[in-house]
Structure 1
Amino acid sequence: MSQSQANRVAYRILIGFEQHFRRFMRITGQASTRFYLGQWNATAQAQRDRINQYSRIVDETASDLITKLDAPVIVADLWRDTKHAYSHLLEQHPQAELAQTFFNSTFARLFRHQGFNSQYLYLNDAPPQCPIADASQYLQIGVGPNLKRDLRQFVYRQGWPKSLCDFEQALSSTADELLRLGLEDEYSELKLIKSGFYRNKGGYLIGALKCGGRRLPIALAFVNRDNKVALDALITGEDALSLVFSFARSYFMVTCDKPAQLVGALKNLMPNKSIAELYSAIGFQKHGKSELYRDFINHMNASDEQLVAAEGIKGMVMTVFTLPSYPVVFKVIKDKFAPPKDANKQLVIDKYALVKRHDRVGRMADTHRFTQLQLPKARFHPELLEELRQTAPSEVEIIEDSVIIHHCYLERRLTPLNIFIEHADTQALDRAIDDYGQALKDMISANIFPGDMLYKNFGISRHGRVIFYDYDEVSYLDECNFRKIPPPRFPEDEWAAEPWYSVAPNDVFPEEFASFLLTIPKVRKAFLRRHKDLLSADYWQAQQAAIAEGEQADVYPYPPECRIPPN
């Protein structure tokens, strides 16, 4: 194989990547307009389109290469030379790290995930370091008498038509609060990322009050209220900003030419967030997946810890395992599902894809799908390896010293809610059950019915939020038929083994929820305090009617105390 052919292959892959990046940024660049015009259906469609276009362009690139190559087989010299040529093309490239991931994706599509080798792919290569953020990304405002004027000018540079803006008074009071915080804690400047962040029905300006090495992360949260852009909240502090960037929310749309620098800036504001999570948060979830894989492998190589079964009740659909010192779980679909589950593997895959592309409203954990994941056999606890052999033999293959998992999902590890309930004191339990009910209502507002509502399918995050993570029974709310249980025909009907009424596949009877959710008195008391309506078919039907009329509820990623009082 000639070097010229390797150069042509490398160049074609780079053309594919740049086509993807242009489409990505074209969709992203329209987010501001969709926001100030209140085009929420278009916003949801844009989110799906942006996710889907990556795979389409990888497919197009791979198909084109198949026609150009003499034979679509792995030829060592060709792909070694192609990687070398591609690396040369990426020197000084502003999106080099993303382009590496696109190269890997194209290779995987060409060869069906065979031949994964660092000679050909960017696997063990040290990822490009996040450089110190370019000063041109920021606006710097002095904490002084001109702060209000400079902040106002910055906000109006976001491109929102003045005729559609109604935030003068809120912006004035916010500037006063930022000035107070700055003077009180001796911050000398307000530093703001120039690009706006858009997601669902919100727009955000992100930055920090700074003085030397000290910083206070802040965000200005804007909404579209009555067809006017309004300033809704001032968010301060790392924890509060981390919730805005939660792994349980949809991806932001934010324009940037140099994603590594933007991620570096966000990492400075939220040091507890991983690089992988931040890339995903701004929409580059494929590269987030690559960073997650590298970070996990590096972490595993630095220890001799073994992979073990995850804590909690064994799932009927998934076998779940984890490395105790690393905050993710691996979920492998079983070959056979325990009754009463009657789904199949493809249906489960489709459900996880549905959630990936939907508004997760801060209540559904993000997932990364891996194929042909190769891990050292010695790192599997013998009991876990035997469990995988028994429950998912078609998904697990042992080749010499490696375990190949043909298909699995990686997801953030959370404390299962059922385990949390067992050990929580009264106050913590009340908060968790109240938030469980609110989690259901947030998902309902996004047209999602979780299906299996048992506590074992929910977890508690480090911020104390209840997050849903088991998607095999997820469906759209408007596909369900919520019914009241008909009165018994005869007294003995209530004692019969079978119901006295017909039940169709999509029928749901909210009155039955109490029989499996509220059997513990203290849990029942906490739930009924605010969420008794969830036990009524009328409530669910009313939510369906609102969705049918096009209503989209406001689900804020910040607590009420952050909100700015209306004029």
Structure 2
Amino acid sequence: MPRGLELLIAQTILQGFDAQYGRFLEVTSGAQQRFEQADWHAVQRAMKERIHLYDHHVGLVVEQLRCITEGKSTDAAFLLRVKQQYIALLPGYPRFEIAESFFNSVYCRLFGHRTLKPERLFIYSSQPATRLSAHPRPLAKDLEPTESWSQLLSGMLRDLPLRLPWQDLARDVQYIFRHLREHFSDDTLRQSRLQVANELFYRNKAAWLVAKLFTPHGTLPFLLPIHRSDDGELFVDTCLTTSAEASIVFGFARSYFMVYAPLPAALVEWLRELLPGKSTAELYSAIGCQKHAKTESYREYLDYITHTSEQFIEAPGIRGMVMLVFTLPGYDRVFKVIKDRFAPQKEMSADHVRACYQLVKEHDRVGRMADTQEFENFVLEKHQISPELMALLREEVPEKIIDLGERIVLRHLYIERRMVPLNLWLEKVDGQSLRDAIEEYGNAIRQLAAANIFPGDMLFKNFGVTRHGRVVFYDYDEICYMTEVNFRDIPPPRYPEDELASEPWYSVSPSDVFPEEFRHWLCADPRIGPLFEEMHADLFSAAYWRALQTRIRNGHVEDVYAYRRRQRFAVRFGAPEYVN
């Protein structure tokens, strides 16, 4: 290869990333207009389009590089020089950290995820960590209650860039102030101030004002979800000021925010104080940089695995028929590998399973489906794998394993947040905790269905419980759109003998679902059955599911709240329900 080609290749990759992130910002910048026009279907399309942008632009760059190199082989020394030329372009580059991830993606696509050596990739960043904390321009503005909190809040809301009128600004200011006085003393409020992000965070049907509340006792989140009524008027739906509430809003089971972030590293650093329990990977993911979040997640994994003596073990819970799931005892993630062969009752292919996981990645997860990160050629040290798990891997996924002596490579896997399987949770709780779990489980099914997702296999083992007590679905191999299902009532028996027969007396098609049958396994436990009948009996009615299908087919997009409905101002303060 001629000298000078290394620089051309490095510049081509960086220019490709520039094009990708430019389109990313362009799609993101349309969030305000989509919100103001209540174009909720455009919101869903934009979310999907933005996710696809990254892989699309990686593909374009790969094709350019194939033309530049004319298909000639590139030796190790040449590839190292390309990386060095790329590093030389980054010191003055504002989005260097994601540009490094883009380089990794291009390299992996170009070489089919082979020869993944640290010296050829950005396993760790080439740039000093101090660059991540440098804020070249203010990301937020400070507001102090010089005269009163009511005046501060009113001015803050009036100054927002939204171009719609307020339904009742004075009412909303009063509600926010009432919330603050319920949670903080007057003396604390006199000594407190806000730092408000310059950009609104858009997701679903809400525009979120995100701020930090600085008090004498520490820094707290201050979050206001702003909604649009059917009449085109703005209102604040609630105020959230606890770390747990903020963690759920920015949770791993929710869609990515649309927030204009030309300097994502600076925004992540600003959010870190607001969300101290979130990792760097989780923060990048929350603002839509999910591919760089994958890089950060892998770095966090490497840090953990380097400093632990733990061995990988099979994950607790009932063994799945499609996925082999393993983890490290103290790690907050699980690793999921598609089995080479499925149980007989699972009539599907590995490609189908991967398509289901991609569907979840692109769909609105409404706080009820865990996000996943997909990896190819994942390397594990044999001494860090328990003998029992190694035997299970060789039994269930031998075609996915490449043996490298002291290491193995798993050709493909997913990494997902670790939760307590709901079936195990239900075994150990009682009283109000049991009631809360059953309420959460039913609500998860309802919210998934309202978002046009039918879980398929709704057994308790396919759901997990987060550290905040939320129930989240995580087994996607039978997932489908609600509109693809035929919900039927079981026909009455023709003769008394029909009910005793081993086969149904009515025809059943692959897409048929009979909600009455849910009762057999959801209510089998005498501790659970009465609670489920009390709170969620309508889930056993085909009419309930068909009514949801009608709303979906009519184009209705349901409201999605990242908080309990009882936290809404309209409910808390006894006001008439806002029209929205």
**TM-score bucket of the superposed structures, by smaller chain:** over 0.9
1:54-104 per-position Cα deviation (integer Å, ceiling 9, x unaligned): 101000000110010143534212211111111111113211100000000
| Aligned-partner Cα distance in 2 for 1:41–1:349 | 25
Report the CA distance shift for 1:154/1:81 in structure 2 as closer, same or farther (over 3 A): farther
Task: Name the residue aligned to 1:318.
Answer: 323
Task: Name the residue aligned to 1:511.
Answer: 516
2:100, 2:125 within 8 Å by CA — same for their partners in 1? no
Report the CA distance shift for 1:174/1:375 in structure 2 as closer, same or farther (over 3 A): same
1:2, 1:78 within 8 Å by CA — same for their partners in 2? no
Task: Name the residue aligned to 2:370.
Answer: 365
Matched, 1:221 2:222: no
Greater Cα offset, 100-109 or 137-146: 137-146
1:407 positional shift: 0.7
Task: Name the residue aligned to 1:161.
Answer: 163
1:209 positional shift: 1.4
1:236 positional shift: 0.9
Task: Name the residue aligned to 2:487.
Answer: 482
Gaps of 5+ in 1: none
1:188-233 per-position Cα deviation (integer Å, ceiling 9, x unaligned): 3211111100011111011111147821211011112113222111
Greater Cα offset, 81-90 or 438-447: 81-90
Report the CA distance shift for 1:74/1:405 in structure 2 as closer, same or farther (over 3 A): farther
Query: Per the alignment, in what secondary structure is the counterpart of residue 52 of structure 1?
Result: helix
Matched, 1:185 2:188: yes
Task: Name the residue aligned to 2:263.
Answer: 258
Percent same amino acid among aligned pairs?
Answer: 41
Gaps of 5+ in 2: none
Task: Name the residue aligned to 2:79.
Answer: 79
Query: Per the alignment, in what secondary structure is the counterpart of residue 144 of structure 1?
Result: coil
2:154, 2:170 within 8 Å by CA — same for their partners in 1? no
Residue number among 126, 135, 138 corresponding to 1:136 in the alignment? 138
Structure-1-length-normalised TM-score: 0.96
| Aligned-partner Cα distance in 2 for 1:220–1:534 | 32
1:455-534 matches, within 5 Å, as 455-534=460-539
Matched, 1:207 2:208: no
Structure-2-length-normalised TM-score: 0.94
1:493 positional shift: 0.9
1:15 positional shift: 0.3
1:169 positional shift: 2.4
1:435, 1:466 within 8 Å by CA — same for their partners in 2? yes
Report the CA distance shift for 1:136/1:430 in structure 2 as closer, same or farther (over 3 A): same
| Aligned-partner Cα distance in 2 for 1:6–1:212 | 55
1:498 positional shift: 0.7
Query: Per the alignment, in what secondary structure is the counterpart of residue 321 of structure 1?
Result: strand
Letter in 1 for 2:280: I
1:36, 1:228 within 8 Å by CA — same for their partners in 2? no
1:526 positional shift: 1.2
Q: Superposition RMSD on alpha carbons, in Å? A: 1.7
Query: Per the alignment, in what secondary structure is the counterpart of residue 388 of structure 1?
Result: helix
Query: Per the alignment, in what secondary structure is the counterpart of residue 522 of structure 1?
Result: coil
Task: Name the residue aligned to 1:176.
Answer: 177
Query: Per the alignment, in what secondary structure is the counterpart of residue 4 of structure 2?
Result: helix
1:5-24 matches, within 5 Å, as 5-24=5-24
Paired residue total: 566
| Aligned-partner Cα distance in 2 for 1:559–1:170 | 21
Query: Per the alignment, in what secondary structure is the counterpart of residue 475 of structure 2?
Result: coil
1:285-324 matches, within 5 Å, as 285-324=290-329
Task: Name the residue aligned to 1:278.
Answer: 283
Query: Per the alignment, in what secondary structure is the counterpart of residue 118 of structure 2?
Result: coil
Task: Name the residue aligned to 1:437.
Answer: 442
Task: Name the residue aligned to 2:345.
Answer: 340
Query: Per the alignment, in what secondary structure is the counterpart of residue 133 of structure 2?
Result: coil
Report the CA distance shift for 1:430/1:178 in structure 2 as closer, same or farther (over 3 A): closer
Matched, 1:198 2:195: no
Letter in 1 for 2:206: G
Task: Name the residue aligned to 2:547.
Answer: 542
2:164, 2:233 within 8 Å by CA — same for their partners in 1? no
1:167, 1:231 within 8 Å by CA — same for their partners in 2? no
1:520 positional shift: 0.4
| Aligned-partner Cα distance in 2 for 1:90–1:127 | 8
Greater Cα offset, 221-230 or 23-32: 221-230
| Aligned-partner Cα distance in 1 for 2:135–2:435 | 43
| Aligned-partner Cα distance in 2 for 1:134–1:188 | 26
2:322, 2:343 within 8 Å by CA — same for their partners in 1? yes
1:495-532 per-position Cα deviation (integer Å, ceiling 9, x unaligned): 11111100000000000001112100110011111100
1:154 positional shift: 3.7
2:227, 2:237 within 8 Å by CA — same for their partners in 1? yes
Matched, 1:30 2:30: yes
1:320-469 matches, within 5 Å, as 320-469=325-474
Query: Per the alignment, in what secondary structure is the counterpart of residue 147 of structure 2?
Result: coil
2:538, 2:544 within 8 Å by CA — same for their partners in 1? yes
